[in-house]
Structure 1
């Protein structure tokens, strides 16, 4: 049976934040300016199913390094929509089931004739084919783990990497979808760059909680997410943002 809050009983807070540069996981609503997105919808669905849980801080924007720091220091309990990595697996608690999946693509300048069907095609282009990625994000970790690929993860924002791409400071930009087209539009580069058609890799995203969070709360969130998955609500939310 799912948890319910009795009358007059304060809800258990789960402190979180909105992650910069991750549309449509988190994005600013064009009319109200409030943070909306896949993760916000999932948090509200959790609260509806278990009224004894309340996410706080989801309207506060933070870059990913600051989110890590806050969880490490026990100042934040959870972050929505992170993928597994060896470092994260050691430091945090992943709360299944997966929330949604993402697909990674390469973005090139519009006049680039390169055809990339797999990682070997990318490697075979040589050392001048630098791939830009966002520092601290999973995409950079994926590229660096492959070997034989020249990676520049010096910038933390997709818009900066797209500017570097147009300035010929890299040949490709590695980023994920859903949300990639919105990033191109927001950055003002539509028509100047193109998304190559090959899906280079996929990844599943999860709620991640700090090690300081009590096991009972972790299990409570897991139980609620499992119910949302079983009902099809997680899939419905993700598809609504495609």
Structure 2
């Protein structure tokens, strides 16, 4: 008979939690003895539908640009530990839970007026997103500006994702047919292939890899014109100790100066 739900299983879980707590306490003691800042655990999540920031890599494993970035910050600031980057959460919920202080940081998010009232954005920006249109492989359209899309009228529907910043960005540009009903980029790729939209506005880095992992390579193509750009930042909860935020910001500044951030971008582009 298995041990699921039995006292033995519960005891093992309790022992695991106790060992983790002891390990963290031991790390804090060692840091304190060395005169270093105490260990600080920062809770994060893997945001669904945000490749290449977070990419599924088999059962129970998440890789990607932001996972590597968390580890790089930990190397620079050994007293900081990011936990939770192996646990998926829908993007909208990830933002909501940062605002309600259920976790501590979000990696590589765009600054908006609403978000600036809810989070603390750390400078400098981590990197810049490049927005391009994806079309079906057989589509003859040549797009060099938003005017070219506008001229297509009802034949130029642009797919975007609900809960992302892109619908708001396109609303500001104006004059286009936009469908933002999909909840994930993969769904929009499927809609595009099925002819339920002319273009899908998505962002690089990592666009080609995303297309390949979605299984539509050869069915769609990335149009060359960069239609929009936007900086992304490390966002932290307003509840996080300002001294901790400064340590994260210092690490980001160093990663920019020593070229590590550029190397990570190249790895995941």
Q: How many residues align?
A: 238
Q: Determine the structure 2 residue equivalent to 1:133.
A: 160
CA deviations on 1:41-88 (whole Å, 9 max, x unpaired) are 111111111111110111111111110121122101100010122222
Q: Distance in 1 between matches of 2:240 and 2:163?
A: 23
Preserved contact between residue 167 and residue 180 of structure 2 (Cα < 8 Å): yes
Q: Distance in 2 between matches of 1:6 and 1:101?
A: 39
Q: Distance in 2 between matches of 1:19 and 1:229?
A: 23
Q: TM-score normalized by structure 2?
A: 0.83
Q: Determine the structure 1 residue equivalent to 2:55.
A: 27
Q: Distance in 1 between matches of 2:128 and 2:153?
A: 31
Q: Tell me, what secondary structure is at the counterpart of 1:14?
A: strand
TM-superposed deviation, 1:5: 6.8
Q: Determine the structure 2 residue equivalent to 1:175.
A: 202
1:216-231 aligned within 5 A: 216-231=243-258
CA deviations on 1:178-231 (whole Å, 9 max, x unpaired) are 221122212221222111111111222110112222222222211121122111
Q: Distance in 1 between matches of 2:243 and 2:72?
A: 20
Q: Determine the structure 1 residue equivalent to 2:42.
A: 14
Larger Rg: 2
Q: Tell me, what secondary structure is at the counterpart of 1:127?
A: helix
Pair 1:54-2:81 in alignment:
yes
Preserved contact between residue 158 and residue 183 of structure 1 (Cα < 8 Å): no
Q: Determine the structure 2 residue equivalent to 1:196.
A: 223
Q: Distance in 2 between matches of 1:221 and 1:194?
A: 38
CA deviations on 1:143-182 (whole Å, 9 max, x unpaired) are 2221112211111111111111122221110101122112
CA deviations on 1:100-139 (whole Å, 9 max, x unpaired) are 2221110111222111101111112113311001111122
Q: Distance in 1 between matches of 2:168 and 2:218?
A: 29
Q: Distance in 2 between matches of 1:59 and 1:167?
A: 32
Q: Please, which runs of 5 or more residues in structure 2 have no aligned partner? A: 1-26, 33-37
Q: Tell me, what secondary structure is at the counterpart of 2:95?
A: helix
Cα RMSD (Å):
1.8
Q: Distance in 2 between matches of 1:163 and 1:34?
A: 25
Pair 1:143-2:170 in alignment:
yes
Q: Determine the structure 2 residue equivalent to 1:237.
A: 264
Preserved contact between residue 5 and residue 51 of structure 1 (Cα < 8 Å): no
Q: Distance in 1 between matches of 2:86 and 2:102?
A: 16
Q: Determine the structure 1 residue equivalent to 2:234.
A: 207
Q: Determine the structure 1 residue equivalent to 2:7.
A: none
Q: Tell me, what secondary structure is at the counterpart of 1:165?
A: helix
CA deviations on 1:16-52 (whole Å, 9 max, x unpaired) are 011112221111235x752111111111111111111
Q: Please, which runs of 5 or more residues in structure 1 have no aligned partner? A: none
Q: Determine the structure 1 residue equivalent to 2:93.
A: 66
Pair 1:84-2:111 in alignment:
yes
Q: Determine the structure 1 residue equivalent to 2:179.
A: 152
